[in-house]
Every structure is written in C-alpha cells, then in structure tokens.
A and B are shown apart, each in its own frame.
Chain A
C-alpha cells in the first residue's frame, strides 16, 4: 500500500460547483498536511497548510484533516475556470521529505 493515495482523476465540473478533492494515508506519524496547486508548465504553488484535525478556511478553499480516519480533503467553493489545474496533497513526518499524492487533474468548465 502506498503511503499516500490520491485519485488522479481527471475531474470535470461546471463553473460554480463545489469541488471535493481527497487523499488517504497509511502512516499515522504524518503531522503536517499541505495542498498544492500546479498549473500546466509551472511549479507547484502552496495553497493550504494544516497541522491538526479539523477545518481550515481561506477564501473559497477549505482544508479538512481527519487524523482518526487518515483522510484529508480540499473543498473549493464556487469553482472557477481559473481553478483548472492539478491539485497535489502532501504530508510530512518529522524532518523528512514531503510525501506526495499523485495529484488530481481538475477542469472547471465555463
């Protein structure tokens, strides 16, 4: 079993929809959880960073962590065509390199 599982999609939604992106993980030692957005031909951009279980909101984005279920989510409200990108979850345990999911390709159709 991979340490981090993420459905690669692609996921296609109409403009204005609520998008739910998810990752599961197997190692309970993971402490910090991140979501990155990557546009085509660009480097990943840090979107959200969370430490504890619960929700963290930033504008249209909400990151949710459930450590008991080893499950993290990113919700995008009122999705826009400019949200079309690949979204990668990532997590860290201690002083070790990030472990990434495979990334989910999202298309928001106008």
Chain B
C-alpha cells in the first residue's frame, strides 16, 4: 500500500485568494490524481498529475483555475486559484500503486472553505 499525506488538512480562505495543497507519498508511484468531493457527493476527478509534464485535466477543469505540479514521483501540488465560495470542497490526492495491481489509494483530504 501507499501512505499519502496532504497539507494543509483544512483551511478557511477569502474570496479571490489562492491556496496550494501539497501531496506527499511514501513511495514512488506511477500515477497521481487530484479529486474534488463536494458535500454529500461522490468524487470528481480534476486531473491526472504527470511527472515532468503538464497535467491532464478532465472536462470542466482548466489549468488556469487548478494549476498542478508534479516535480517527481512522490510529490504533487494542486493550487485552487482566484477562489469563490463554490470552490468550498474537500480536495483529495490519490495514487495508483506501482505493484501491478492498479490499486488506488487516497490521502486524508484537504477541507477548504471559501468565505
């Protein structure tokens, strides 16, 4: 399995500001993902973080709003830019194991509230 940590665990931010969320994994992984989970909802994939190249975004998500970095195989950041109250959500980092099973693990999440 993979152990994933995220920072910060929660934050309250003002409208118009930006927040960068960090994801650290305890082992090298092939794929890293960022998800959003709004209250009472299932998980929505924002993007796949690609090591050394631009992230691959899902429909409805754009790089200007959610820039992502992945400088190596164990670390990634997601920035939520120019925030509005609609961005209030839990943001989750997820990784796919490098053990041939395609098992996917999730971090504890970052709970973001935008006022």
Interface of A toward B, CB cutoff 8 Å: 31-32, 34, 36, 41-46, 49, 88, 90, 92, 95, 97-98, 100-103
Interface bracket on B: 20 to 34
Interface of B toward A, CB cutoff 8 Å: 1, 4, 31, 33, 41-43, 45, 48, 58, 90, 92, 94, 101-109, 111
Contact A100 B104 (CB under 8 A): no
Contact A34 B104 (CB under 8 A): yes
Separation of A102 and B48 alpha carbons in the complex (Å): 20
Contact A44 B111 (CB under 8 A): no
Since A43-B106, A90-B104, A97-B45 are in contact, a sample of 18 more A-B pairs with Cβ atoms closer than 8 Å, ordered by chain A residue number, is A31-B102, A32-B102, A41-B109, A41-B111, A42-B109, A43-B108, A43-B109, A44-B92, A45-B106, A46-B104, A49-B101, A49-B103, A95-B31, A97-B33, A98-B45, A98-B94, A101-B42, A103-B42
**B44 and chain A: residue at smallest CB distance:** A100
Separation of A17 and B58 alpha carbons in the complex (Å): 40
